[in-house]
Amino acid sequence: ETGVTQTPRHLVMGMTNKKSLKCEQHLGHNAMYWYKQSAKKPLELMFVYSLEERVENNSVPSRFSPECPNSSHLFLHLHTLQPEDSALYLCASSQDSQGHAFFGQGTRLTVV
């Protein structure tokens, strides 16, 4: 048990669907992240929330929309995705200045 829980573990969605990924951490951390892992690519940082404030990543398409209602929960809302968005989406949390992040098990997303 990592302390960071992601649901669902697997998701298949059509390009016109709207879905949300959920992440929950019980570690008392004040920073949360969304990462994307595509095949043969480095882990890509998508969004960071620190003290519930969002740090924008301009390279992420607007069809991905994060939400952080409180320090323990993080969502990634998905809308009109493309097949190339199929990947493993990982949530992580950390405590400021401690460096290492704790990851959830990820959501394997397939866009059809």
- The answer to whether the Cα torsion of 42, 48, 50, 51 is positive or negative is negative
**32 with 23: CB under 8 angstroms?**
yes
23 binding other proteins? (CB under 8 A) = no
Distance between CA atoms of 74 and 76, rounded to whole angstroms? Answer: 7
Among 42, 53, 69, 84, binds other proteins (CB under 8 A): 42
97 binding other proteins? (CB under 8 A) = yes
Residues within the interface to other proteins (CB under 8 A): 2, 4, 6, 31, 33, 35, 40-43, 45, 48, 50, 55, 90, 92, 94, 96-106
